Homo-oligomer: A and B are copies of this chain.
C-alpha cells in the first residue's frame, strides 16, 4: 500500500493529477509566479528570494521540469528557467475543461 493505483484511472486523469501535483506546493507556486512576472529567471535569484536552501530550490525546480512545466538552459555558470509554452497550454486546456464543466444547478444537496 501507500502507492497510488494509477492503473485504475485513464491516462488523462493520471496526467492531470500529475500536473496538478507538480504545482501543489507553495514553493513551486512561488517559483512559477516569479518566472511569470520576469518571463525568465535565474535559479540563484530564487534561492535568495524564497527563504529555502539551495538544495531545496533545486529539487523543486527539478520537479517542475520533470513534468515539463518549465525548461532550463545553461547560461554561463548559471541556469535560466522559463515556462514551457506547450505544457502551459496543455494545462490551461485540461484544467479549463475540468473546471469549466461545472454548471451550477438548483438541484444540489
Contact = CB atoms under 8 A, between A and B. Distances in A.
Interface in A51-109: 51-52, 71-73, 75, 80-83, 85, 88, 91-92, 95, 98-102, 104-105, 107-109
A109 B24 CA distance: 24
B23 A20 contact: yes
Interface in A21-47: 21, 23-30, 32-33, 36-37, 39-40
Interface of A: 4-6, 8-9, 13-14, 16-18, 20-21, 23-30, 32-33, 36-37, 39-40, 50-52, 71-73, 75, 80-83, 85, 88, 91-92, 95, 98-102, 104-105, 107-109
